C-alpha cells in the first residue's frame, strides 16, 4: 500500500506526539465540545457531518468524514455516515437518479435535488478503501459494489444536453464538471490520484476512461494554475482560463475551493510521482503566501493581485500550504526546503479552528495532518 512519507517524524517530532495529535484532532472533530465537533450521531446507526457555517450536511463533508474514518480505522462512524447519506441524500429516482443531493438539513430534508461531483468522487474512493480495509458486507455495506455503482452513474448518465441528468465528467476531454450539465469545472475537484485507483476498481469497460481522466486532469492543472503564482481560481473553463461570469461572485478568485488544489497535487505526487511539474507548483504556492507577508490572508486573483476581502478559511490556507511540503521538498534548494519545513512545524503547533466556520478549515486540517504524518494511504 502506498502512503505519504512521515515528514513530521523526519523533522524530529516524536511519533507519540504525532499519534496523539491525530487522536486528539479526531476526538475534537467527532466528539468534542459544541464549539469543536462537526459530527453528530443519529439514533443507533446513523450520523452526519455538519457544515457549521451553513448549518447543513453536504456531500462534500459527508464523504470527507468517511475518508477520515477509513484512514483511521473508524468503522462505526464510517458506517453511520454512509447510512445517513444513503437514507437522506441518495436519489434512487428522478432525473438525478444515482446521484446524491448535495445539501440536506440536519433532519435529513433535502435542501436541493442537484448533486456536486466532488462528493461522489470522495464517496467512491472512501468506499473502495473500506472494501479493501474491512471487506464487503451486505446491502449498502457492500462497499465495492456501491463504489462501482457510483462510478458507473458518474460517467454513464443521460446526454450532455440534459442539464439535470447529465454525466459528471465530459465524454470528450475526460474532465470533471462543476455540476452535471455545466460548461466549466473546479480545479480542486481534479483528483488524478483517485482516478487511477478508480480504474482498478470500476467496471472493466470503464477502466480506460478513468486512466484517461487521470492524465487529462494532470494536464488540466497545468493550465488552471497561474505560471507565476501557482494559484488557481475557484471555477475555470475547460481550457484552464478563469471563469469570469458566474452565480458565484468569488468564482474567478483564489477563494475557498481553491485551497484544496495544492494539496491534491501534492498527494498525487506522493502516491504516483508521474508529473515532474508538481513539486515546483507546490513550491510556487508556498512562496506566494510567504512573499505576501502580512497580506497572506487577503483574497487574491490567480495572478496575485489582491482584493480587499479577507479569507473566510485562514486555517485551511495554512494547513494546505503545509501539506504541499510532501511534494515541495522534492528537488528543492536549501531555502525552499527550509520554507517547506518551517511551514510544517508551524502547522503542527497550530490548533484546530473553533466557532461557526470551523467545518471546512478543520476537515482540510485533518487531511493535511494525515498527509504529513504518513497516515494518508491507498487501501
In 11-32, which positions are buried (b, 16+ CB within 10 angstroms) versus exposed (e)? Answer: eebeeeebeebbeebbebbbeb
Q: Which residues touch 241 (CB under 8 Å, ≥6 apart)?
A: 223
257 is known as an active-site residue: yes
**Set of cell numbers at residue 21:** 495529535
Determine the Cα–Cα distance for residues 294 and 289; give it in Å rounded to an integer: 9
Residues 202 and 259: their CA atoms lie apart, in Å, by 29
Q: Which of 36, 50, 56, 60 is catalytic?
A: 60
Q: Specify which residues 6 forms β-bridges with.
A: 373
- At 309, phi and psi to the nearest 5? -80, 145
DSSP 8-state code for residue 227: T
Contact 254, 302 (CB under 8 A): yes
**C-alpha span between 91 and 114 (Å, rounded):** 10
Cβ-Cβ contacts under 8 Å for 353 (sequence gap 6 or more): 315, 361, 362, 365
Cell of 135: 471487506
Whether residue 121 lies in the annotated active site = no
Query: Which residue in the list 121, 257, 330, 336 is annotated as catalytic?
Result: 257
| The three three-digit cell numbers of residue 107, written as one number | 433532519
Q: Which one, of 158, 154, 368, 340, lies nearest residue 267 by Cα?
A: 368
Beta strand 57-58 pairing with 103-104: antiparallel
Closest CA to 336 of 281, 286, 274: 286
**Residues 172, 175, 180, CA angle at the centre, nearest 5°?**
90
CA dist., res. 317 & res. 263, Å (int): 10
| 192-201 and 117-134 helices, crossing angle to 10° | 50
Show which residues are catalytic. Answer: 60, 257
Amino acid at each position: 500500500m502506498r502512503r505519504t512519507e512521515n515528514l513530521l517524524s523526519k523533522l524530529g517530532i516524536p511519533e507519540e506526539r504525532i499519534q496523539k495529535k491525530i487522536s486528539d484532532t479526531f476526538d475534537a472533530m467527532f466528539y468534542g465540545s459544541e464549539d469543536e465537533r462537526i459530527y453528530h450521531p443519529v439514533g443507533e446507526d446513523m450520523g452526519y457531518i455538519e457544515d457549521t457555517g451553513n448549518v447543513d450536511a453536504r456531500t462534500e463533508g459527508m464523504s470527507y468524514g468517511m475518508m477520515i474514518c477509513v484512514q483511521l480505522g473508524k468503522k462505526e462512524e464510517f458506517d453511520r455516515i454512509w447510512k445517513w447519506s444513503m437514507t437522506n441524500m441518495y436519489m434512487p429516482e428522478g432525473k438525478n437518479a444515482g446521484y446524491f443531493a448535495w445539501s440536506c438539513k440536519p433532519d435529513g430534508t433535502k435542501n436541493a435535488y442537484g448533486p456536486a461531483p466532488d462528493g461522489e468522487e470522495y464517496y467512491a474512493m472512501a468506499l473502495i478503501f473500506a472494501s479493501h480495509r474491512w471487506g464487503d458486507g451486505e446491502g449498502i455495506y457492500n462497499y465495492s459494489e456501491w463504489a462501482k455503482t457510483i462510478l458507473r452513474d458518474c460517467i454513464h448518465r443521460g446526454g450532455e444536453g440534459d442539464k439535470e441528468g447529465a454525466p459528471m465528467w465530459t465524454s470528450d476531454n475526460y474532465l470533471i464538471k462543476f455540476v452535471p450539465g455545466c460548461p466549466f469545472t473546479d480545479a480542486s475537484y481534479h483528483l488524478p490520484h483517485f482516478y487511477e485507483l478508480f480504474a482498478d476498481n470500476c467496471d472493466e469497460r470503464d477502466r480506460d476512461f478513468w486512466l484517461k481522466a487521470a492524465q487529462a486532469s494532470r494536464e488540466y492543472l497545468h493550465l488552471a494554475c497561474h505560471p507565476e503564482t501557482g494559484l488557481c481560481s475557484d471555477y475555470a473553463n475547460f481550457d484552464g482560463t478563469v471563469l469570469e461570469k458566474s452565480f458565484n461572485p468569488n468564482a474567478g478568485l483564489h477563494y475557498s475551493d481553491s485551497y484544496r488544489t495544492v494539496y491534491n497535487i501534492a498527494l498525487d505526487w506522493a502516491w504516483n510521482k508521474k508529473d515532474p511539474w508538481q513539486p515546483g507548483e507546490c513550491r510556487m504556492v508556498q512562496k506566494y503566501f510567504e512573499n505576501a507577508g502580512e497580506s497572506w490572508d487577503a483574497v487574491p486573483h490567480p495572478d496575485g493581485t489582491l482584493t480587499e476581502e479577507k479569507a473566510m478559511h485562514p486555517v485551511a490556507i495554512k494547513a494546505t500550504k503545509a501539506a504541499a511540503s510532501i511534494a515541495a521538498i522534492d528537488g528543492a534548494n536549501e531555502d525552499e526546503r527550509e520554507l517547506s519545513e518551517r511551514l510544517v512545524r508551524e502547522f503542527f503547533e497550530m490548533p484546530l479552528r473553533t466557532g461557526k466556520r470551523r467545518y471546512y478549515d478543520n476537515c482540510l486540517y485533518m487531511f493535511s495532518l494525515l498527509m504529513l504524518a504518513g497516515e494518508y494511504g491507498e487501501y
